[in-house]
Every structure is written in structure tokens, then in C-alpha cells.
Amino acid sequence: MKRRRLGLNGPEVSAIGLGCMGMSEFYGAGDEQESVATIHRALELGIDFLDTSDVYGPYTNEELVGRAIKDRREKVFLATKFGIVRDPADPKKRGVDGSPAYVRKSAEASLKRLQVETIDLYYQHRVDPKTPIEETVGEMARLVEEGKVRYLGLSEAGPATLERACKVHQITALQTEYSLWSREPEDGLLALCEKLGTGFVAYSPLGRGFLTGAFKSPDDFEPDDFRRNSPRFQGENFQKNLALVEKVKEYAAGVGLTSSQLALAWVLAESENIVPIPGTKRRKYLEENAAAVDAVVPAELVEKLSAEFPLNSVAGERYAPTMMGLLNR
């Protein structure tokens, strides 16, 4: 497994990570035995960068990851997040809390669920508009001083917020959706990360699985799969986006890769400062994704893909309106 450094002075991690969210929620039924086996296989393949959050489940994904790595903690670079608050009466409702008291409360709870003494990378999952970012990051920095956290990150934070945060404490990683069909970070955010010495972690680099070419209809998703309610996976949007995916399949076949591998290879080729974290709960897809780091993709094909997927070429917003409202820009 090839490796990349997170930011200018951050840690070295596997060139791709493993997003663990789908093992517990959002993408249909899970299988804990297979999920744990997938995490163990990732470590065998040299993928040491694991990504979770307290909101996944909620809480159960951190517990699963904790059980999976308990006897192999030294092999893992562990990232988790705080800040998205789910309504106990209606888990579909979301809020955001970045208050210092909530930062500390969340970190302590995550440490217990993960069964670790230190979180390697601690992200604010969404920026709280009610709390100045300086106060949130200030409390996160105190966790670093206390040895409970090693590095700090932000997720879906805009450029101005990132710059303000870096004046309080170095932000080692900024996590934002980035793929062939979510290219918004190219509008200055990727360049700012490099300028500030912040690594860029690309979540959903396979377009929430759509770029794999595995889905032909919204009916392919399980009843409780959140993609059924996602704008890009509905009605006319689905059909328009399917035509784009067919191009990826065609180009991938031409160079002996799967659609997934070509989509990941494109992300990896965009910058050495980017580490994608494709999510999966099955070993066979993990192994397919891992092979993307060794894919040989001609530069002209990378450029052709970029031209085929310009910004705003994809039909539909990334999230439903309520979740779009939580993004910081």
C-alpha cells in the first residue's frame, strides 16, 4: 500500500483509507461479522486510515470499530468526528453543536466507545454557526494538550472558516466530499488546503457508490438506504447521472480497470495532498478499491475524465435540503 502525508507536517497514512459509516447505517442492512473482517482485511492490505463518527448509528459504528481494532490498535490511524446532533425523538432530524462543553463531552464518549486512550484525528463534523470556530477549535486544541487527541480536522468547512481555525491550531485535515461528480472543492478550497499545510480527505470518492456502475435503478437500493431520498438518486436526475457513469465504465474497460478503480485513480491523480476514503462493508469491494493505488492511468485519460465531468454536470444536489443547510461555505 502506498502512503501519503496528511498536510505539510501531519502523519503519514495509507494513500486510501476506509470509510466505516455504511457498516452501521445509511446503506441498508449491515453484517457485523463481515464488517469486522473487512476492517481486518484493510489492515492486512496496509490500509491503516479508518474513518468513523459518533453520529453513525448513532454511536454503534464507533463501538463496532472499537471492537474490531481492540487487539491491533497500534496498526490503526483512527479518525472520528463530533458535532452533528440527532434528535432522539426523530433521528432523521439533525442539529449542530460546536460549543466547548459539547466538544469535550463528545470526545470523552468517543474514547470510551472506541476503547482507546487517544483519537488520532478528531474532526468537527459540521461547523456550528452559533459558536465561533475559534472557540470550538480552542477546546479541540486543549484535547491535544491533554493527550486525548493527536491531530485536528474539520469536515465540510468553507475557506474562511478553515483559515480562521488554522490561526488557533493547525488543522491537519479537511474532509469534504470530492469525486468526479462532486468537484466543488476545486473552486479554491483544494489550493487553500495546500497553502495552509492542511491535508484534504475526500469522502464519498465513488459518488456514494454510484460511480461503481452497480446501480441501474433507484429500486436497486434497500428500503432503508438513504440514497432513495437523495436528489441525485431520484427520477430524472438518476437517469441523467447514469449516462455519466456509463462513460466511466467505458473508459475503465479501455485500461483494464473497474469503474471504481478508475474513479479512485482520478481522485488520487488530482493531488498528492488528497487522501480518498471510500467506504465499504465488504472485503471484495475493499480489495478492488485498494488496487486503485497501483492503477496506471494515462495523463490524457485523467484529463478526459475531468472534461467529461465539469462542475455542475451532475443532476441534483449532494444532499436533501435539510442536510445541505448544515454545510459551511
Give the pLDDT band (50/70/90) at residue 264: very high
Cα 271 vs. chain centroid, distance in angstroms? 16
Mean pLDDT of the chain: 94
Q: Mind listing the pLDDT tens digit for each residue in 147-165?
A: 999 999 999 999 999 999 9
Indicate the pairing of strand 119-124 with strand 149-155.
parallel
Contact 39, 20 (CB under 8 A): yes
Q: Residue 245 domain-assigned?
A: no
Q: Is residue 214 part of a domain?
A: no
Phi first, then psi, for residue 279 (nearest 5°) are -95, 145
Side-chain half-sphere CA neighbours of 305 within 13 A: 28
Place of cell 468526479: 180
- Is residue 131's pLDDT more than 80? yes
In a domain, 308, yes or no: no
DSSP code, position 125: S
Domain assignment present for residue 74? The answer is yes
CA atoms of 67 and 36, how far apart (whole Å): 8
pLDDT of 218 above 90: no
What is the domain-level CATH number for residue 39?
3.20.20.100
More confident of the two residues 221 and 290: 290
Question: Is residue 65 one of the residues assigned to a domain?
Answer: yes
Is the pLDDT at 323 greater than 90, yes or no? no
pLDDT of residue 327: 85
200 phi, psi to nearest 5 deg? -110, 120
Q: What pTM was computed for the model? A: 0.95
Q: Which domain holds residue 136?
A: 3-209+270-296
Indicate whether 228 pLDDT > 90. no
Is residue 310 in some structural domain?
no
Is a pLDDT exceeding 90 seen at residue 315?
no
> What does the pLDDT read at residue 50?
98
Mean pLDDT over 30-49 rounds to 97
Average pLDDT over residues 59-81: 98
Query: 277 with 17: CB under 8 angstroms?
Result: yes
- What is the tens place of the pLDDT at every residue in 50-66? 999 999 999 999 999 99
Q: Which of 56, 102, 123, 203 is catalytic?
A: 56
Specify whether 56 is catalytic.
yes
State how many domains the chain has.
1
Report how far Cα 298 is from the mean position of its chain's Cα atoms.
Answer: 26
Distance separating alpha carbons of residues 325 and 224, to the nearest angstrom = 22
**How many angstroms separate the Cα of 25 from the Cα of each of 22, 41, 70, 163, 200?**
5, 21, 21, 33, 25
Residue 41 located in a structural domain: yes
For residue 142, tell me if it sits in a domain: yes
